[in-house]
Structure 1
Amino acid sequence: MPQFSRHSRRGRVMIAIGLSALLLGTSACTRLRTHQGYQVDKLLVDSVQPGIDNRASVEGTLGRPSFVSQFGEQDWYYVSRNMRALAFSNPKPVEQTVLRVRFDPAGNVAAVDRMGLEQVAHISPSGDKTPTLGRHRSLFDEIFGNIGAVGAAGMGGGSAGGPGGGPNGS
């Protein structure tokens, strides 16, 4: 009889370990959803009207922009992005909204534009190396290439007219 209770206890422990491994395995593959940037409120965005609002009223309604255009302060951008990822994979954008508020020189709203994921450029790099111009040198050439080179800078081999360049060190 004691053998039976020891095996049933071991069986229960094995079942508990198996269930916890199963739960950990399924939770590791869950989709993670994140939000980055501005929280878009459609009602507030629709309330910004060209010709009526100015910088102060837009900041009061929508808040500070995500960023301001670099060439003059004519455009304000509000960027919102929803991302999705599986466990440890790279996150992928699912939805994106870029709200651009353009101002005239007087500071009044000239236009409000919305853009989405259709404006995102997908770039796929070719290869794992960036082609460059110049010499192709190995690691050993880079390390030992200047040993014994005549006139190497900083090694006392400067020109004859400079300090330390003459035959007497003058």
Structure 2
Amino acid sequence: MNRIVFFVSIAALGLGGCAGYRESRGFIMDEQLAQAVQVGTDNKTSVEKTLGRPTYTGQFSDNEWYYVSRQTSTFAFRAPKVTEQQILRIKFDQGGNVSAIERTGKEKIASIDPYGKTTPTLGRKKSFFEEFFGNIGTVGGVGPTSGGQPGQ
């Protein structure tokens, strides 16, 4: 009987490490505040006072602000999966007034699958020993980084 209790408790402890969890990342979206921002009425200052600083600004122009909210879930040691995502994109005109508001979700997530396990490179393939012992004698030798002249 003691053995059964022992093995059940060990199994419960082991499976406890495999429990999943949820995580919120980025901006915590408050729908009432997000709805309060209006095109033609608000400007950068009022948007910042209402929503706070953006998650990030546009890459080519600081007249685009992005508020990104993401919920993920993870089970055991697997990679996190996005369960929900909201992106609020606010565009400003040259005067700093709100000109457009866009909302998007998980459909904007790009899935990239790398090809193969190695990256092809040009040149000669070296063996383990050539890689390991190949630089012996080159430290302090004559070359472009040593500063010395050939024949000196």
TM range (shorter): 0.7 to 0.9
Alignment identity in percent? Answer: 46
Q: How many residues are paired up?
A: 150
Segments of structure 1 that go 5 or more residues without pairing to the other structure are: 1-10
Q: TM-score, normalised on structure 2?
A: 0.82
Answer yes or no: is 1:56 the counterpart of 2:45. Answer: yes
Aligned residue type for 1:140: F
- Deviation per CA, 1:69-98: give whole Å up to 9, x if none: 121211111111100111222111111111
Q: Deviations over 1:115-151 (max 9, x none)?
A: 1111111111121111122332223334555779xxx
Of 141, 144, 147, 1:155 maps to 141
CA–CA distance in structure 1, aligned partners of residues 132 and 12 of structure 2: 53
> Which residue of structure 2 aligns with residue 87 of structure 1?
76
Could you say what secondary structure the match of 1:141 adopts? Answer: helix
Tell me the residue number matched to 1:130. 119
Q: Which residue in 2 is equivalent to 1:73?
A: 62
Which of structures 1 and 2 has the larger relative contact order (alpha carbons within 8 angstroms, sep 6+)?
Answer: 2
Distance 1:163 1:120 in 2: 53
Partners in 2 of 1:111 and 1:157 — Cα distance? Answer: 59
1:47 deviates by: 0.9
Question: For 1:41 and 1:157, how far apart are their aligned partners in 2?
Answer: 62
Instruction: Give the C-alpha shift of residue 102 in structure 1.
Output: 0.7
Contact residue 142 and residue 148 of structure 2 kept, 8 A: no
Question: Alpha-carbon deviation of 1:58?
Answer: 0.4
Q: Aligned in 2, Cα 1:164/1:15: closer, same or farther, shift over 3 Å?
A: closer
2:43 counterpart letter in structure 1: N
Aligned partners of 2:101, 2:122: CA distance in 1, in Å? 45
CA RMSD of aligned residues (A): 2.7
Unaligned runs of at least 5 residues, structure 2 = none
TM norm structure 1:
0.75
